[in-house]
Amino acid sequence: MIAFLTKRLMHAILVMLVISVIAFAIQDNLGDPIQQMVGQSVPESEREALRERLGLNDPFHVQYLRFAGNAIQGDFGYSYFYREPALDVIARHLPATLELVFGATLIIVLLSVPIGVYSAIKPRSPLSRFFMGASIVGISVPVFLTAIVLIQIFAIGMKVTLFPESTAWGSWLNATLSTEGGMPSFGRGQDLVHVVGYWDSNLFSAGGLQHLVLPSIALASIMLPLFIRLIRAEMLEVLQSEYVKFARAKGISSWRIYFVHALKNTMLPVITVGGVQIGTMVAYTILTETVFQWPGMGLMFLDAINRADIPLIVAYLMIVGVIFVVTNTIVDLIYGLVNPTVKLTGKPA
Amino acid sequence: MTTQVSTTTRWARFRDSYLLYSFKRTWSAQLCLAIFLCLVLAAFMAPWLAPTNPYDLRQIDILDSELPPFWIEGAVEHYTLGTDAQGRDLLSIILYGTRVSLVIGFGAVILQAILGVTFGLLAGYLGGRVDAILMRLADIQLSFSTLMVAIVVGAVVKATLGSSFYSQYAVLMLILIIGLAEWPQYARTVRASVLAEKSKEYVDAARVMGLGSRRIMFRHVLPNTLSPVFVISTVQIANAIISEAALSFLGLGMPETHPSLGSLIKSGFDYIQSGSWWITLIPGAVLVVLVLVINLLGDWLRDVMNPRLYKG
């Protein structure tokens, strides 16, 4: 276990080193900080003196070590736009993103397990076929398009006139398919509850929750099909195994077999994939937050790109790197703990 | 003279293959292929099919902007699917946009495949340190989703080169970015099959005959690792098209003067609050159909080529 732990930690540190070198190379190559700091009239000799004083003429590795040293202490420099430490800006935007990811994860867990299990138990039923068909459609719809459709249907409202109004069924269909709209689709709203520090929450008020609904559904929509298919495939495999047959022969009720015996082993690979996918969701938060103008890290990152706010871009990359590495490492550890058959110390396959 | 013989046998092999047999019996695969070919044909014949040329500023009238499609009141007959916010005919610009999306999708996948197959082959066949370095790199890149890598690389490239230069070479840039972001998928697949092939006797035989490792890798091992490559290629094309749309939607892709499906959706999204939903949702529907048929074809191909896998 110890050997496995150290190996994972070494791997994590290596990844962070690679990320920090890339982030530093970006910072080093983008723009000239002297130009940002001094006016037009400053002569070249003074610029050169300032450059020397700030250590910008030092060789790459010296500058990198200085950058890495500061980064470990949480100092990523000042954001050009917000004029405050980059880490503070990120800390202010982090809760919004985390709440969005939390909402999406909740939807995914609550829906994917029952649907996945059902379509494994009854693989031939029409409902299962519908779920499988819907899931491949779901995979094919990009997350920003789901978000736009949600806005059109639930925020703006939609008046359907496709069916003939003169017939009874036509006007009924038109009326049923038309929507009022009115769901909030812009930002986090006013009803935020201050919890602690930078954390203003959407989770503890009706208005706040309403603002969270559409973005969470949009973010969940991209992962949900994947999880349904994964749970179904794993469950199908587990249901073929000897111990399930034995449990059945013993006369245990099928409900108990499905949800107590089989589901446990189904969830193993789901944990690994799930952990990695929650990290992956960070990428999709950029798209979701852009559509809903959700003031989280993703929207902040995109704004930083458009404003060429380099310290903020670099800080975002480092923080996201940490999130990825930490989730991946934790997932590996949990998997090793939960599944004793996994080779903890062996060579990588 | 020998080429004649080999082509006929290849055709015969294809005619007798399980692939064609299954295709003839799967109506959904036939339908998907038909829709896909229609879209591709329509996109590449855009200059002849489209009623107007959306890149020609003389044919655009700003007074025609935001006209609805034909089934909604206020439509103008000339513009079948309506017009966008700049007065461009939506049908024409969707045809041209689909062409841009397809070119980028296929280009990116070709680049991914070249990079991934080469690296996978090297890693699997040479092993040792080359394998460790390449696969660690692939692991790192995969643990950040490919979309994230594409967004970051796109953002940095755009910030470095300046946006006017970037949009001038946007097609090339997007192919490079998406190609670089997704090669690990290919590398992993190829490496796994190479490891299985490497221990087979024909490789030993080739080595005993004194052939160089480059020749063994590319002429002997490579052809036997290609069928999983074809299977993932379909899914990769769908992914690349979605990635391109996502990048364009974020403003890191095709400029509005030369739009792809993604940038059409983006430009239409600004007008959705004013009720002009068709500017964003019609290109969106085209994108979904395109990606969906490719994904369905990929599913079918995977089931046929690898019957042991689940129909997950």
A10 touches B: beta carbon within 8 Å: no
Q: Specify the higher pLDDT residue, B155 or B115.
A: B115
**What CA–CA distances, in Å, run from B272 to A47, A95, B81, B186, B283?**
49, 29, 16, 39, 13
With contact defined as beta carbons under 8 Å apart, do A67 and A27 qualify?
A: yes
CA distances from A224 to A89, A219, B86 (A): 31, 9, 37
Confidence bin at B291 (pLDDT 50/70/90) = very high
Q: Could you list the residue range(s) of the whole structural domain that residue A119 is in?
A: 2-30+76-338
Instruction: Indicate left, alpha or beta for B74 from its phi (over 0: left) and psi (-120 to 50: alpha).
Output: left
**pLDDT exceeding 90 applies to what percent of chain A?**
10
Task: Give the other-Cβ count within 10 Å of B22's Cβ.
Answer: 16
Top-ranked range on mean pLDDT: pick from A48-57, A159-168, B136-145, B214-223: B214-223
Residue A301 included in any domain: yes
Distance from CA of B312 to the nearest CA of A (A): 5
Q: What is the pLDDT of residues A316-344, one digit of tens each?
A: 888 888 888 888 888 877 777 777 665 55
Q: Do B238 and A140 touch (CB under 8 A)?
A: yes
Asked if residue A256 belongs to a domain, the reply is yes
- Residues of chain B contacting A266 with CB distance shorter than 8 Å: none
The answer to whether residue A122 is domain-embedded is yes
Both tokens of B76, joined, read 């103008």
Task: Output the average pLDDT for chain B.
Answer: 83
Per-residue confidence (pLDDT) for residue A333, from 0 to 100: 79
The confidence score (pLDDT) of residue B309 equals 46
In whole angstroms, give the CA distance from residue A332 to residue B184: 20
Residue A157 has pLDDT above 80, yes or no: no
Q: What is the pLDDT of residues B136-184, one digit of tens each?
A: 888 778 777 778 888 888 887 877 777 788 888 888 889 999 998 888 8
Q: Please name which of A154, A159, A153 lies closest in space to residue A178, comparing C-alpha atoms.
A: A159
Q: What is the model's pLDDT at position B204?
A: 87
Name the domain count of chain A. Answer: 1
Structure tokens at B238: 């769908």
Domain B26-305 has CATH 1.10.3720.10: yes
Q: Give me the pLDDT at residue A103, please.
A: 92
B71 pLDDT above the threshold of 60: yes
B156 contacts A144? CB cut-off 8 A: no
Joined tokens for residue A91: 């800390």
With a CB cutoff of 8 Å and minimum separation 6, the contacts of B90 are B69, B79, B81, B82, B83, B84, B278, B279, B282, B283
Q: Could you tell me which of B286, B247, B288 has the C-alpha nearest to residue B96?
A: B286
Domain for residue A67, yes or no?
no
pLDDT at B41: 92
d(CA A98, CA A188): 13
| Integer Rg of chain B from CA | 23
- Which position has the token pair 């090297």? B122
The answer to whether A283 contacts chain B (CB < 8 Å) is: yes
Count interface pairs A-B at CB distance under 8 A: 105
Q: Is A280 on the interface with B (CB under 8 A)?
A: yes
Report in angstroms the alpha-carbon separations of B221 from B186, B197, B207, B218: 15, 7, 12, 6
Question: In this model, does residue A345 exceed pLDDT 50?
Answer: no
Asked if B152's CB is within 8 angstroms of A136's CB, the reply is no
Neighbours of A131 (CB within 10 A): 19
Residue A337 has a CB neighbour count (10 Å cut-off) of 11
Q: If you average pLDDT over residues B112-130, what whole number do you get?
A: 89
Question: What is the rounded average pLDDT for all residues in chain A?
Answer: 82
Distance, in Å, from the CA atom of B254 to the CA atom of B260, rounded to the nearest integer, reads 6
∠ CA B122-B127-B133, nearest 5°, is 80
Q: Name the closest residue on chain A to residue B293, using Cα atoms.
A: A140
- Does residue A185 register a pLDDT over 80? no
State the CATH number of the domain containing residue A281.
1.10.3720.10
Task: Determine what percent of chain B is predicted with pLDDT higher than 90.
Answer: 18
Residue A40 lies in a domain: no
Residue A71 lies in a domain: no
A283–B272 CB contact, under 8 Å: no
Please indicate if any CB of chain B lies within 8 Å of the CB of A300: no
pLDDT digits (tens, 9 = 90+) for A244-285: 889 889 988 888 888 888 888 888 778 777 777 766 788 889
Buried b (16+ CB within 10 A) or exposed e, A40-67: eeeeeeeeeeeeeeeeeeeeeeebbeeb
Q: Which residues in chain A have their CB less than 8 angstroms from residue B35's CB?
A: none
Confidence of residue B299 (pLDDT cuts 50, 70, 90): confident
Contacts of A162 in chain B (CB under 8 A): 71
For residues A159-172, one letter each, b for 16 or more C-beta atoms within 10 angstroms of the residue's C-beta and e for the rest, the string is: eeeebeeeeeeeee
DSSP conformational letter for B219? I
* pLDDT, mean of residues A86-95: 90
What does pTM read for this prediction?
A: 0.85
Distance of alpha carbon A195 from alpha carbon A142, whole angstroms:
34
φ, ψ for residue B173, nearest 5 deg: -60, -45
Backbone angles phi, psi at A263, to 5 degrees: -60, -35
**pLDDT at residue number B310:** 40
Which amino acid makes up residue A169? W
Among A62-71, A189-198, B39-48, the least confident range: A189-198
Indicate if the pLDDT at residue A142 is higher than 80. yes
Helix axes A310-338, B146-161, angle to 10 degrees: 170
The Cα–Cα gap between A199 and B277 comes to 36
What pLDDT, on a 0 to 100 scale, did the predictor assign at position B158? 79
First-to-final CA distance of chain B: 46
Asked if B120 and B188 count as a contact pair (C-beta separation under 8 A), the reply is yes
Inter-axis angle of helices B261-269 and B90-126, nearest 10: 130
DSSP state of B224: G
Q: What is the pLDDT, as a whole number, of residue B36?
A: 92
User: What value does the mean pLDDT take over residues B278-287?
Assistant: 88
